[in-house]
Structure 1
Amino acid sequence: MSLLEGIRVLVGGPMKALFKANAFDSDMRQRVEITVSSLRSAGALVYSAHLAEKFEIARLTSVQTTARDFRWQLSCDVYVALLPVDEFGVAIPSAGTSIELGWATAFRKPVVILSDHAYTAGYSHLVRGLQAVSPVEHLDLWSSREQLISTISRMTSVSTEEGISRG
């Protein structure tokens, strides 16, 4: 059995802010694809708007997108947020990712935040301090595949032991 077999992971991160000339940022696309591929190879079922929308501007309505993402949040076991920074070390703004972080912590879902540790000051206090209210781990955006998988495995086994629902 794979380490994350049966674990449902929602992977989120900025979308709208990463489109330049109608093309999604290639570095972030690669980071999303590597993250999703790593999770899937470990046995996880992965939800991702980036992949569902093929890294294109959404063809769904706002209501459809919100309903889909909320449904994914309800059914996931863990939320992984990719939070890159811009060339000045400032977190790329994402209202959608902020809402998803709010949903996940309100539902007491385990959260893994993948951020650029070289620029931690570029993130808000609320992002840096979420572990005060919910099970949250901060990893570097460029963390190894093994570190991400072992963190999710540990967090989901702890949340199950503590009686935190898996959806």
Structure 2
Amino acid sequence: MTSIVDETEGAEVRSLFLAGPFLGLLDPETGEMPEQERAPFDLLIKHFESQGVSVHNAHRREAWGAALMQPEECTRLDQEEIRRADVLVALPGSPASPGTHIEVGWASAFGKPIVLLLERDRDYTFLVRGLHTVATVEYVMYADVAEALPAVDRAVRRAVARRRAAGDGG
């Protein structure tokens, strides 16, 4: 397995924030994310943690919908975790996930490197597609998240190395 820890490039990643659609994916009957919606996040969390990376993720923290936090609490926690993370990895959603877009905005404002996973043959907002013009962003196009993991690792290394080379570790 390729590691996203690569000290030779100055791109060691100790922690990341994994963002993506949440409330809009909850099953109205159970209040929880169905397994098919949960799967890409669970896969990414396990992938990064297997490499020793600390992953902050609201989906898991809030038990996939079973233990939703109040807005005043989860908003503050998400922002703090993004501020502390080395990089933000996000599935921005198509249609757009408003919460995820706010998290991507925070990461951009904090000068954090960002990796955006964009599903092939989906439409994304202009600001997602143009974010690389104002922030350190790597895009990974995918059809299957599992098959894209090596590309995700490369994108994380490149984004973190580019941000650190610019003289700001985030």
TM-score range, shorter chain: 0.7 to 0.9
For 1:39, what is the secondary structure of its paired residue? helix
Cα pair 2:96 2:125 within 8 Å, conserved: no
Cross-structure match for 2:35: 26
Report the AA paired with residue 71 of structure 1. E
For 1:109, what is the secondary structure of its paired residue? coil
**Partners of 1:161 and 1:52 in 2: how far apart?**
32
User: How far did 1:57 drift?
Assistant: 4.8
Note the alpha carbon deviations across 1:107-166, whole angstroms, 9 max, x for none: 2211111121222xx211111110010011111243521111121122212222221224
Structure 1 runs (4+) greater than 4 angstroms displaced: none
1:159 maps onto 2:160 in alignment: no
Percent identity among equivalent residues? Answer: 29
**Partners of 1:70 and 1:58 in 2: how far apart?**
19
For 1:23, what is the secondary structure of its paired residue? coil
**Partners of 1:64 and 1:106 in 2: how far apart?**
21
Structure 1 stretches of 5 or more lacking a match? 85-90
For 2:128, what is the secondary structure of its paired residue? helix
For 1:83, what is the secondary structure of its paired residue? coil
User: How far did 1:74 drift?
Assistant: 0.7
**Partners of 1:102 and 1:30 in 2: how far apart?**
25
**Partners of 2:120 and 2:41 in 1: how far apart?**
17
User: How far did 1:6 drift?
Assistant: 4.6
**Partners of 1:6 and 1:83 in 2: how far apart?**
21
Cα pair 2:17 2:81 within 8 Å, conserved: yes
Cross-structure match for 2:125: 124
User: TM-score w.r.t. structure 2 length?
Assistant: 0.84
User: TM-score w.r.t. structure 1 length?
Assistant: 0.85
**Partners of 1:79 and 1:6 in 2: how far apart?**
11
Cross-structure match for 1:9: 16
Report the AA paired with residue 163 of structure 1. G
| Count of residues in Structure 1 that have an aligned counterpart in Structure 2 | 157
CA RMSD, 1 decimal: 1.7
1:39 maps onto 2:40 in alignment: no
Structure 2 stretches of 5 or more lacking a match? 6-11
1:67 maps onto 2:76 in alignment: yes
Note the alpha carbon deviations across 1:63-94, whole angstroms, 9 max, x for none: 1111100100110111111134xxxxxx1332
Cα pair 2:96 2:124 within 8 Å, conserved: no
